[in-house]
Structure 1
Amino acid sequence: MRYSLSKVASLATLALACALASPSNAVELSKHLSTIVSPEPIVRIAPKYPINAARSGREGWAELSFVIDKEGDVSNVLVKDTSGSNDFAKEAIKAAKKWRYKPAFENGKAIQQCVNTVRMDFKMGESASEGTVGVSRRFIIKYKKAKKALEEQDYKEVDTQLALMMKRKSMHLSEHNYMHMLAAEYEKAKGNKEKQLFHLSRIAKSFVRQDDEKQELSILYQMFILQVEFNEFRAAHNTYNRLIKLDSAKPHLGKLDKIMAKVDAAVASDGDLIRLADIKGNDFWTADLVRNEFSLTNVDGSLHTLDVRCVNKRHVYTIEEDNTWKLPASWENCSIYVYGEPKTSFKLIEHPLGT
């Protein structure tokens, strides 16, 4: 028996730290936040559904980055993120390696291309686009216990129930989403904005159904505010583009536009843009750049390799102490992948344009 939890998350209070008022016309974003032109695919093989996952009814997704060579073949496939299952990531990699793209040309010569975000979804149910809707009795028991504990500020019990949920090997994406909604609410209550953003991002990547638009608005709005706060400006730009498509966001467009105007001004300013970084479970940390000159500083631990992937160029560098890189202006929409030892922390500093 399955249950619907469509009203689980309440709409967050849409308040900003400062008073904002602006017409709801979209701001003109800087060229550094411009829309990425996707390479043109010729062949895209669908990934196989892992047998064990299908048998247990497990759903998930994998997000990849890869390089397209001058002949249009895919190489250097990198798993950027997953819903937590390695078997989905493996099948996504196998499929991506069989893809082919139309070669890109620059000044009459074939060039490398990079695709920094491709997500493959593994969903079951009547509609592959939606996946399985509803949650199991076993899940809802744990969820209600955690929800009650959170309301009573019994954080030890919340930790226990969330850990039990995460141990389940047969969760549907709808169950994943409700778990992450609860976890985001929990981290917000504790004041841990970084973890709150992590859980909100998980939900945003795998909405099973978008019939509760108020809930979607709440999730995306909270994400947007946190992304701006953490100087994740490219991610904020993408979230903004999703928000303005929602009918329920219309009363807030003026505020959203005002914030994006401030983001645009920050990118074009003569001040440094600083992000705190640390390598966690993976052996790399990734960021989308909005400027072409940057440094990696205040390294606590060990970094060794920098992989720069742009729409029309890829280059790998060796990292030395307090390195600074200035990428050619012709390298467009670049993302970086910083490799090092686990638990290494550092700062990414993007320097003013034109310096």
Structure 2
Amino acid sequence: MKNSPRLCLKMRNRAFCRALAPVLLLTTMSVSSHVNAQELSLPCDEVEEKVKAATAADEVKRITAFQPAKAIERQAPDYPIEAARRGQEGWVKMSYVIDEEGHVQDPVISDYSGSRAFKRKALSAIKRWTFEPAMKDGKPTQQCHQAVQMDFMMGGRRGASGRFISAYKDVDSIYQQGNYVEADAALQRLHEKDNLNRYENAWLWNMDANIASGLEDWQRELDSFARMLPSNKGDEKKYDVFGDDHIAFVHQRMVILASQFGLYADALSYYDRLNEMEGQQQRIDEIAPLVTKIRDHINSDDAIKVTVTIDKRGNWFHTLVRNQFAFDNIQGDLDTVEVRCDTHREKFTVAEDHVWKIPESWGQCRVLVEGDKSTAFNLIEVAQTTSS
């Protein structure tokens, strides 16, 4: 794509930072706590709705014959005692499968923020969830395209501590001077704190994205914004950390960044979220030509290449916009690739020079790749005409 994120990013981020100087609220923490579990609306779910709307009537009947699973019991995870004592908050995102008997199988953590103990508690809880199984053509079937975000939040604390505000202002002062490497070092010291709440995490990841912008590390910027957004959400709209104008800016920026990396399902999802916001027509109009290019590329005969490096989590998720994909230029060890679709899943060993073809009847799919840290590879989404 010709639309480089670099110039747009530098212009918009600096202007934004001047317009929105940090205004951190100072509050105290209460002793009550609670945990929320919320289903995620994934990019592929949004794509699926568009497919239904644009598909012939007989095809719509085939897709809608699938009845999704219904929750029977979804127990909230226990709040880790030490994290609660520190006032530490965070969230865990997971992908999972519901089998034919309504049990959760193979939950995988895709990302998290906060204590490592949040991951253990979230996994322990989700394995105890039960459902009425999904039905396809009148028979129980797997439901594989599932994701959830579990929020660990303490009641009563909606602002930042005095120590956090002081440390954050020091980082921001260095950042505003354009000393991005020094600002990054100061920010990492904040990342090491084990008592940050949701409000502080939102500001922390937002600054992380800004510094990544200054360092021209676009992947880090995208990842940091993706971590800021879950921390931004309060249990009520009025308790969101950032206002709508900033969140609209973030969604617009994430469309640009995701498109540069070939993450087209994600880019279209961020664009849809921007469209759902009121009073953001200017941002929508600014990004519309890029979205048109994304859709044209998806519908073209040109391959879509996604360049990936496995991080310390040991896995990588990707939502497909085509039903054929392959691997290329693998440097390191990849263990398995699992295709998790609406109504089916398969797990394979990884090989180059092989094209995986996914039946249309499986619905929208995500790919889960597992391998060693620092393993690099290209995932190629193959056009239909290329492989036929």
The TM-score normalised by the length of structure 1 is: 0.86
Letter in 2 for 1:237: L
Letter in 1 for 2:155: G
Normalized per residue, the structure richer in helix is: 2
* Secondary structure class of the residue paired with 2:362: coil
* 1:286 CA displacement: 1.6
8 Å Cα contact 2:180/2:214 also seen in 1: no
Q: Does 2:198 match 1:173?
A: yes
* Secondary structure class of the residue paired with 1:330: helix
Q: Does 2:151 match 1:146?
A: no
* Match of residue 211 from structure 2: 186
8 Å Cα contact 2:48/2:364 also seen in 1: no
8 Å Cα contact 2:264/2:294 also seen in 1: yes
* Secondary structure class of the residue paired with 2:301: coil
Within-5 A mapping of 1:129-144? 132-144=157-169
- Aligned equivalents of 1:109, 1:245: Cα separation in 2: 36
* 1:42 CA displacement: 2.1
8 Å Cα contact 1:32/1:290 also seen in 2: no
Q: Does 2:311 match 1:286?
A: no
* Match of residue 285 from structure 2: 254
- Aligned equivalents of 1:10, 1:214: Cα separation in 2: 13
- Aligned equivalents of 2:306, 2:50: Cα separation in 1: 17
- Aligned equivalents of 1:34, 1:197: Cα separation in 2: 27
- Aligned equivalents of 2:358, 2:120: Cα separation in 1: 32
- Aligned equivalents of 1:295, 1:216: Cα separation in 2: 35
* Secondary structure class of the residue paired with 1:183: helix
- Aligned equivalents of 2:365, 2:183: Cα separation in 1: 39
Which structure would you say has the larger RCO, counting Cα contacts within 8 Å and 6 or more residues apart?
A: 1
- Aligned equivalents of 1:276, 1:226: Cα separation in 2: 13
8 Å Cα contact 1:33/1:234 also seen in 2: no
Q: Does 2:130 match 1:125?
A: no
Gap runs ≥5 in structure 1: 1-7, 14-28, 127-131
* 1:253 CA displacement: 2.9
* Secondary structure class of the residue paired with 2:78: coil
8 Å Cα contact 2:68/2:134 also seen in 1: no
* Match of residue 314 from structure 1: 345
* Match of residue 11 from structure 1: 16
For these two proteins, the number of residue pairs brought into alignment is 328
From 239, 250, 259, give the equivalent of 1:219: 250
The TM-score normalised by the length of structure 2 is: 0.79
8 Å Cα contact 1:181/1:199 also seen in 2: yes
From 105, 115, 136, give the equivalent of 1:106: 136
Alpha-carbon distance change, 12 to 32 in structure 1, aligned in 2, over 3 angstroms = farther
Alpha-carbon distance change, 185 to 30 in structure 1, aligned in 2, over 3 angstroms = closer
* 1:85 CA displacement: 2.3
* Secondary structure class of the residue paired with 2:361: coil
Letter in 1 for 2:269: N
Q: Does 2:188 match 1:163?
A: yes
* Match of residue 35 from structure 2: none
8 Å Cα contact 2:308/2:378 also seen in 1: yes
8 Å Cα contact 1:217/1:248 also seen in 2: no
* Match of residue 25 from structure 1: none
* 1:299 CA displacement: 0.5
* Match of residue 235 from structure 1: 266
